[in-house]
Amino acid sequence: MNEVLQTLSNIGIVPVIAIDDAAKAVPLAKALAAGGLPAAEVTFRTAAAEDAIRAIAKEVPDMVLGAGTVLTVEQADRAMAAGATFIVAPGYDPNVTQHVISKGGIMVPGTSTAGEMQQAMNQGCEVVKFFPAEANGGVAMLKNIGAALKGCRWMCTGGVNSKNVNDYLGYSQIVAVGGTWMCKKDLIEEEKWEEITAISKEAVKTMLGFSLAHVGINCENEVEAQRAAKTLCAFFGFEYKPGNSSIFAGSAVECMKTPYLGANGHIAIATNSIDRAVYHLSRQGVEFDASTRKPKAIYLKGEVGGFALHLVQK
């Protein structure tokens, strides 16, 4: 996948901005980035859109910046000249799509049917927009289409909110969602930047869905692991679950047959997405041990209270 699109996938949620005053664009972008959402789709529904994109591109260069509601070739050219790195449209126009692609841009055309999606894919679009998502059947619709269009990837917008965001992002063919709930018009007009940051942080928290999965105890050998697990099972009625490298007492405690990372063991934190969790935690300065990376798990560097930490996929 294109690097920009991969970054959007890692971010997960793309704030969709309709802004009337370009002077508010930079503080808005900074507020979103501070909340963990360094991405934005600035819609061309307002006269300030082009200037807003230009200002954000200059002052917040780390922002993954796109232009939305792009209807014409002329708008696409203006958006890209202003600094937009991807172009989003509400519908599928082959001419606009081809124009953006021919100029080396990233086009995400709006689609609602399998026919439109197929045409856009064949034209070279790596990701298409599903819009309006909820009105067109939501993620259930895409799962039906996805069985036939296995190579299709979607960015979903329209009716996506804090309550259903994980319904969408839980489907592997959906790379990201677009939403407005963290940057509603009244919040922008009243310059409530701290509130926008707080809502963005909550959105990221909801998306990642961190929870305690289990605690791993380092035992000296297999005999000690068996003894520890059986003791816990006897005390609390947990199910005894032997495995190749460890023995689980229920689902909460893992007794390691040989010591692994962490002086005492490890704490496993479950998340809705390993890739997105790694991206967002890395932005906060958290470091990961790349040598431990597996499809559904990775260890952080260092320890907490003598325990290593690792993420596991829910």
- State the SS3 of the chain: CCHHHHHHHHHCEEEEECCCCHHHHHHHHHHHHHCCCCEEEEECCCCCHHHHHHHHHHHCCCCEEEEECCCCHHHHHHHHHHCCCEEECCCCCHHHHHHHHHCCCCEECEECCHHHHHHHHHHCCCCEEECCCHHHCHHHHHHHHHCCCCCCCEEEECCCCCCCHHHHHCCCCEEEEEECCCCCHHHHHCCCHHHHHHHHHHHHHHHHCCEEEEEEEECCCHHHHHHHHHHHHHHHCCCEEECCCEEEECCCEEEECCCCCCCCEEEEEEECCHHHHHHHHHHCCCCEEEEEEECCEEEEEEEECCEEEEEEEC
Cα separation of 90 and 108, whole Å?
9
In total, the chain counts a number of residues equal to 314
At residue 207, the pLDDT reads 98
Please name which of 190, 165, 186 lies closest in space to residue 176, comparing C-alpha atoms. Answer: 165
Beta-bridge partners for 246? 256
Give the pLDDT of residue 33.
98
pLDDT of residue 71: 98
Predicted confidence at residue 4, as pLDDT, reads 97
Distance CA 70, CA 79 (A): 8
Q: What is the pLDDT of residue 116?
A: 97
Structure confidence at residue 79 (pLDDT): 98
State the number of CA atoms in the 13 A half-sphere of 126 facing the CB: 16
What is the set of domains in the chain, with CATH numbers?
Answer: 3-208 (3.20.20.70), 211-313 (3.10.180.10)
Phi, psi of 313, deg, nearest 5: -80, 130
Are residues 313 and 297 in contact, defined by beta-carbon separation less than 8 angstroms?
yes
Considering only CA atoms, which of 212, 215, 253, 217 is closest in space to residue 235? 253
Which pLDDT value is given to residue 293?
A: 96
Give the per-residue pLDDT at 263: 97
Distances (CA, A) of 116 to 119, 136, 203, 206, 268: 5, 14, 30, 32, 43
Task: Give pLDDT < 50 ranges for the chain.
Answer: none
Residues acting as catalytic residues: 41, 129
Residue from 40, 131, 49 nearest 90 by CA: 131
How far apart are alpha carbons 298 and 275 in whole angstroms?
10
Res 295: pLDDT? 92
Judge contact between 92 and 99, C-beta under 8 A.
no
